[in-house]
Amino acid sequence: MTMINNLPPGLILILGAFLVPLLSGKAKNWYVIALPLLTFWHISQLDMAASLVLNLADFQLETLRVDKWSKAFGYIFTLSGFAAFLYGYYEKRSTQFVSALLYIGSSLMVVFAKDIITLYIFWELMAISSVYLILGSKTQKSYQASFRYVMVHIFGGLVLLAGIILTIHQTGSISFEAFDPDMATLGTWLILIGFLVNAAALPFSSWLPDAYPEATVMGGVILSAYTSKTAVYVLIRGFAGWDILILLGCAMSLYGIVYALLENDMRRILAFSIINQVGFMVCAVGIGTPLALNGAMAHAFCCIIYIGLLWMSAGAVLYRTGKSKCTDLGGLYNTMPWTLVFGCVGAMAISAVPLTSGFTSKTIIIAEAANSHMFWAWLALEIASAGVFLHAGIKFPYFVFFAKDKGLRPPEAPKSMLAGMAFLSFFCIYLGMFPERLYNILPDAELVKQAMPYTFYDIYVHHFAHVVTQIQLLAFSALVFFLFLPMLKRTNTIALDFDWFYRKGFGVIHLMIDTGFNGLNKWTNRTIALGLTAKLSAYFKDGPARLCMIALKPVWELSGAKIDGPDGMETRFLKKFRTAYFSVGSTAIFTLVLFLVFCFFFY
């Protein structure tokens, strides 16, 4: 029993993944739906003193650290997994389920790891397993996006590994604890960069909107929840209070808005929305106060729910229509009303509309930025909060469901999809109306309750002025959207950002290298191989014969023989030399000449 209590939760999903190919039909689908629920229950039963230590060479790997931080992330990771598998009940391919379980299980292993080596091992397994959720689409675009995705994560993994090695060499410890910004070393900075790659922080952000929209329908829902939020978790653990994260977080929150407004593909819009929302969390980690860190945790919890709901809504549309671009969609409210309703719930939650979960969590971060007297951070987050309503709160549902009718009449989403969306919609509204349910699982629950209104009565009666302010902000954003609607209509294109460097820039570099080095190769082949080398080869092929001809030429002249021409002595001599056919007299003359030459040089 003790061994079960000390079992890392992620292993339940990882080991369970290997049984998936042995099952078939509905049994397989219900099995993968049940695994996250089993894991959720296991996390709830873990004692705060639980631990698991494994010996590896000279190190002791502490693969299980149980506290309120790891438990809170464990709860939302397993709830999200349950909703995603319920949504993906239609899926029949074992490879999708296996890769998803390995991916979610690896994320949980990272969350519960106390040592940096265990964290790194499962950090990389996350990247390896997640790529199959993209490859599962089996399109040319998904293959190309998968390759770019792998390249970026190989880079991030190598940077992280280098930082870990340097840090272990310097400190001799593998324990993953908070790093002091005043004592930062090269290893520490490399670890931070490795984490920021997975957080899709600038300038490493473009891999996320490049890869996630090319994933399978279920894969996109699962991908939206784990990689970036796991990165937020490790930033909370290791880099709380690092000022650079405030700047990066604000930049991410604004950057996501701009590119989401430029986008045409609905899943790319939502991908940029992930960057926008993670920006709030990264900024909160940079602020570093206990309330800000709890705000980052709360926002990660709520974000996984409403971002997953939005991806489910978009995935249902893609599943029924086969189309993902806003220019190809419109008028779907006629035949997909429930998908519209659930999508609008997610849109309201991400926009922090009162009575939704986004309003509950985002308020903590913005309020703490103001309380910490960080005016510019507060202003950037307020602008980002209003801006997200433009692209995710209005643009996504408007262009997909209400814009010009394209004549599409798809049936409503399958019941399993609707069930998954209904499950997440419930939490979006429930946590908005009863935020104390969320605050109770936070590491510093009492601190949050003291600083923030947490009952329905407190929020909507005692602090109604804040509710009115938020509604005014959202109403102004809606006004801006419809006033500038002609400018927001998209063309059949995608917006490139930092991925220009490896989509277009590398093409230019490849052309330069191809022209330069291949041009040099051609010149070398023409001048050296076919020119000088051929001539030297031809010369040395008949070299000995020509030396002999130089010595024999005076003899031929004295004898009056014809030297040049087709019948001349030189031509006849070369012919005999090449066929190795000489008379005895000629051989004697050659020997005498060579002997004389030898004597001349010797003496």
For the stretch 424-472, pLDDT in tens is 999 999 998 888 889 999 998 888 888 877 666 566 665 666 677 777 7
Q: What percent of the chain has pLDDT over 70?
A: 86
pLDDT at 74 over 50: yes
> Are residues 291 and 152 part of one domain?
yes
> Are residues 449 and 427 part of one domain?
yes
How many other β-carbons are positioned within 10 Å of the β-carbon of residue 585? Answer: 8
> Are residues 516 and 374 part of one domain?
no
Which among 158, 111, 106 is positioned nearest to 128, based on CA atoms?
106
> Are residues 572 and 512 part of one domain?
no
Q: DSSP strand E in 358-491: where? A: none
Peptide bond before 203: cis, by omega within 30 degrees of 0? Answer: yes
> Are residues 548 and 461 part of one domain?
no
> Are residues 510 and 362 part of one domain?
no
pLDDT band at 173 (very low <50, low <70, confident <90, very high): confident
Per-residue model confidence (pLDDT) at position 1: 47
The answer to whether 276 and 384 are in contact (CB under 8 A) is: yes
Per-residue model confidence (pLDDT) at position 162: 94
Q: What is the pLDDT averaged over residues 561-571? A: 74
- Radius of gyration of the chain measured on its C-alpha atoms: 35
The answer to whether 443 and 67 are in contact (CB under 8 A) is: yes
Whole-structure pTM value: 0.81
SS (HEC) of 262-311: HCCEHHHHHHHHHHHHHHHHHHHHHHCCHHHHHHHHHHHHHHHHHHHHHH
Query: Which two three-digit tokens encode residue 234?
Result: 């490790």
Q: What is the pLDDT averaged over residues 528-553? A: 70
Q: What is the pLDDT averaged over residues 308-314? A: 93
> Are residues 353 and 290 part of one domain?
yes
Among 238-242, 260-264, 569-573, the minimum mean pLDDT is found in: 569-573
Query: What is the rounded distance in angstroms from the CA atom of residue 376 to the CA atom of residue 60?
Result: 44
Which among 68, 61, 129, 119 is positioned nearest to 96, based on CA atoms?
129
Range of the domain at 529: 499-541
> Are residues 208 and 135 part of one domain?
yes
Last-in-domain residue among 489, 511, 541: 541
> Are residues 118 and 94 part of one domain?
yes
Among 125-139, 154-168, 212-226, 559-573, the minimum mean pLDDT is found in: 559-573
Query: What is the rounded distance in angstroms from the CA atom of residue 98 to the CA atom of residue 15?
Result: 10
Q: Answer with the residue of higher pLDDT: 520 or 175.
A: 175
> Are residues 573 and 442 part of one domain?
no
The distance of Cα 188 from the centroid of its chain, to the nearest Å, equals 21
> Are residues 204 and 138 part of one domain?
yes
Query: Which two three-digit tokens encode residue 511?
Result: 């052309």
Could you give the number of structural domains in the chain?
3
